[in-house]
Amino acid sequence: MNYTADPRIIVALDFDDREAAEALVARLGGACGFYKVGLELLTAAGPDLVRGLVDQGHEVFLDLKLFEIPNSVAGAVRAAGALGASVVTVHSMGGTGIMAAAVDAAREFPRLRVLALTVVTSMTGSDLADIGIGASTDEQVLRLARLAAEAGCDGVVGSPREAGPLRTLLGPDRLIATPGVTLPGGEAGAEAGREAGGHARSDTPWAAFAAWASHVVVGRSVTRAADPVAALRRISVGR
């Protein structure tokens, strides 16, 4: 397929069935070359969906947020590599051993990059306090990013609000992927205490790029848009 897509933009296929996901992929056509598949869709549709996306020439961000014993994490990373995924995520709160196991397993697959999730974008400082963490979200994100870098991860996942400090910490080469990006006026009905889409720490894709995020992960602002292709183009051109 001949793509005209911006390689920095990853569209989240946050659907609960394969038919809906594939319908959006078909509608976007060459306007998108990079998709995120999370646990909901992977559980509903199975690994053949990922294989199908890869066979069409798409890159796949397999958002597993792995948090298990190192041997199990390594096995899951190898499975992701065998599917042809370009990115797999591991939970940095599992510690250095888990992240290092993921990085080591990914070496078998030269195209597979391991990103460490720092603090999920739905969490606030009070959520961290509930689990016994006294640091602010900003402090915790940077602490976990340091661990990820020491473990050899290719990059991290953090909110767009943390992209700037993460880039300063990690330098120019590591990937910084930012979920929780929204288009102004693109989503409605945010819950109390949470912004649109369930994110507590969101911002626009343009703010994320200005802070030197390497990728943005966009969901409903594109997938629920009346014209998803136009929404993607709006992100790419910066207005």
Active site residues: 65
Write out the two tokens for 119.
């603090």
The identity of residue 111, as a single letter, is R
Q: Which residues contact 161 (CB under 8 A, 6 or more apart)?
A: 201, 202, 203, 207
CA distance 143 to 133: 12
Asked if 11 and 34 touch (Cβ cutoff 8 Å), the reply is: yes
Write out the two tokens for 33.
């070359």
215 C-beta neighbours (distance < 10 Å), count: 26
DSSP assignment string, 150-191: HHT-SEEE--GGGHHHHHHHH-SSSEEEEEEE--TTS---PP
CA–chain centroid gap for 125, Å, is 21
